[in-house]
Amino acid sequence: MEQTRPLTINRYRDTRGGDLGGDDVGRHVLLAGWVAAKRDHGGLLFIDLRDPAGVESAGLVQLVVHPGVPAFESLSHLRIESAISAGGTVVARAPGTVNPRLPTGGIEVMVADVEVLSSADVLPFPVERDTDVGEEARLRYRYLDMRRGPLVERLAARARLAQVVRSHLTERGFLEIQTPVLTASSPEGARDFLVPSRLYPGEFYALPQAPQQFKQLLMVGGVERYFQIAPCFRDEASRADRSPGEFYQIDLEMAFATQEDVFTEVELMMGRIVTECSTKKAPASFPRIGYAEALDRFGTDKPDLRFELEIADVTAALGGGTELPMFSAAPSSGHVIRALRAPHAAVRSRKWFDEFQEAGKKGGVIGSWLQLDPDGVRGTLSKKLTEDEVSILVGATGAAPGDAILCAVGPRAAVASALGDQRSALGRDLKLGEPDALSFCWVVDFPMFEANVLTGEWEFSHNPFSMPQGGLEALAATDPGEVLAYQYDLVCNGVELSSGAVRNHLPEVMEKAFSIAGYGPDRIQESFPALWNAFHYGPPPHAGIAPGFDRILMLLEDQANLREVIAFPLNQGARDLLMGAPSVVLDSQLAELHLEVVPPAP
């Protein structure tokens, strides 16, 4: 991707070394940058100078320094990664010394004078682009990690993504509005980051987990279409696709809108992002899959649709007629029998199958398997099923000689989880998904409520402020476990990019929904007073979503971890190794905030 490089001409430079070419031969130039490499060849000193835009090889130019030049002595003793300003004449390289791998490989700069702008200490790790460096060192010396190149390239891609998002949504009539970063703590959702108030002893602000309430209040206030690339803060554990502490999302909300309106806008936005920010491929519209269907077919509500490997339901076929007790007893106990083809797994070790069985057991599932050798059938089910029953499993899963069939018996959700984990692992291990494909889908029709496994009481299964399908009538006349919500997830390649919903904007519907989950009207009014009050003054129906900005970039850049697309991330333990946060503060600071630190119990 071509980029214009604005350049300020000053006492340090008048051109970029990476921009020089054959047309510049004979020209006197003033360059500035870092000493990327040094080579002493028989008295001549060769220096690779990397200019500030030189995150790629295009930013390198070779300097030549002769012993008789005053700059020779100072450069001879200068360590790499020191910053210099060098003046000299561009000359053509001798035919035998041309470097075809370097854009500037046909020329070099004969140095006449140099100014050492700063010197570098011994480096904690090599700054060469392809050198393998541990993550802890990369985070602790993030500024040196940036000089290596790839990280800055991804930060440039991040800036481009933000620019495309802003341009597209502005053109679609969305108004960019910044919502507060200091707000009130919310009793629902993840843990808040709390900020003590100096002016109001014993009271706290909270950093927003999301701008959810503010954007809904904007809809009530007459803003028809809102967006922002919003910072969000949640005190939660790290994982590959979730950064601890802080993350960004493309926050959207639309008044007088339906679920379909949200789908249309997001599909248009994602199409433009993929087109302008990557070389990948994505469909113009995304398929919709019901939550229950996703669990049954793929074992997860975040399915990777780049490969066709689906879970087969054989409960009806094997649940009544077989002599195998765990199969025959399944229907009467409300359990299901499901099977998954494991491509090329007939040669897998017994340990691999035992691990599948043990993982299922921990989740309340009975696991078993068949290995389809060319010479016959092996595995725990091979002597317990008839030929016809084996044929049912083979036909249902589409297995072929050389494959294996993994079976799971148990509660529907537990079986889905056990086989879904195996499907995801097989997809990764066998590289079943096309690398350049972005397979988006909408997962819809989430259940509004779920029963607590310990108490049996109803709880919200997703966002408590979502509109139930069927409205107040459905809440009043339908078993809570059967009520579906206008909630939806945007999923791509097995990664959840976003959750969204049509909002519950009617106080009477909200009261009924919260009462089913065990909350009285007072709880809503006390926990969400601004939203509750606003909904009594003519709120429009509204809907929204908030795709994860960092996660989108992670997919576009083919990175397995969010930390690779963030300039200054926390480590996996939620520590900032660069700045040393979190850190102990002075007693005087605590006193100003009327706080004391209580040591944790031993």
458: Cα separation from own chain's centroid: 31
Question: Does the pLDDT at position 470 exceed 50?
Answer: yes
> Quick one: pLDDT at residue 4?
52
**What proportion of the chain, given as a percentage, has pLDDT over 90?**
78
> Quick one: pLDDT at residue 600?
87
> Quick one: pLDDT at residue 551?
95
Tokens linked to 48 = 């690779």
The three-state secondary structure class of 61 is strand
> Quick one: pLDDT at residue 203?
94
Sheet with 312-313, strands from edge to edge, namely: 312-313, 336-342, 404-410, 366-373, 376-378
Between β-strands 225-234 and 175-176, what pairing exists: parallel, antiparallel or unpaired? parallel
Q: Using the 8-state DSSP alphabet, how is residue 470 labeled?
A: T
Band (68; pLDDT cuts 50, 70, 90): confident
How many helices (DSSP H) and strands (DSSP E) are in the chain? 18, 22
| Average of per-residue pLDDT values in the chain | 92
Q: What is the pLDDT of residues 299-350, one digit of tens each?
A: 999 999 999 999 999 999 998 777 788 898 898 889 999 999 999 999 999 9
> Quick one: pLDDT at residue 1?
41
Mean pLDDT of 435-463: 92
Backbone dihedral region for residue 91 (phi beyond 0: left; psi -120 to 50: alpha; all else: beta): beta
| Complete domains list, the chain, with CATH | 17-118 (2.40.50.140), 133-283+543-602 (3.30.930.10), 307-429 (3.30.1360.30)
Round the CA-based radius of gyration of the chain to a whole number and report it.
30
Question: Does the pLDDT at position 202 exceed 80?
Answer: yes
Residues 544/225, Cβ–Cβ less than 8 Å? no
Q: Where are the alpha helices (DSSP H) in 329-482?
A: 350-362, 387-397, 412-429, 471-477
**Distance between CA atoms of residues 261 and 264, nearest Å:** 5
Residue type present at position 324? L
Distances (CA, A) of 439 to 41, 294, 406, 412, 443: 53, 14, 25, 26, 13
Q: What is the pLDDT of residues 141-173, one digit of tens each?
A: 999 999 988 999 999 999 999 999 999 999 999
Mean pLDDT of 107-128: 94
Residues 311/466, Cβ–Cβ less than 8 Å? no
Q: What is the pLDDT of residues 489-540, one digit of tens each?
A: 999 999 999 999 999 999 999 999 999 998 888 888 888 899 999 999 999 9
> Quick one: pLDDT at residue 2?
45
Whole-model pTM? 0.91
Q: What is the pLDDT of residues 18-40, one digit of tens each?
A: 889 999 999 999 999 999 999 98
**Distance between CA atoms of residues 509 and 471, nearest Å:** 7
Question: Does the pLDDT at position 245 exceed 90?
Answer: no
Band (211; pLDDT cuts 50, 70, 90): very high
Question: Does the pLDDT at position 83 exceed 90?
Answer: yes
Most confident range, picked from 20-29, 49-58, 238-247: 20-29
Residues 435/403, Cβ–Cβ less than 8 Å? no
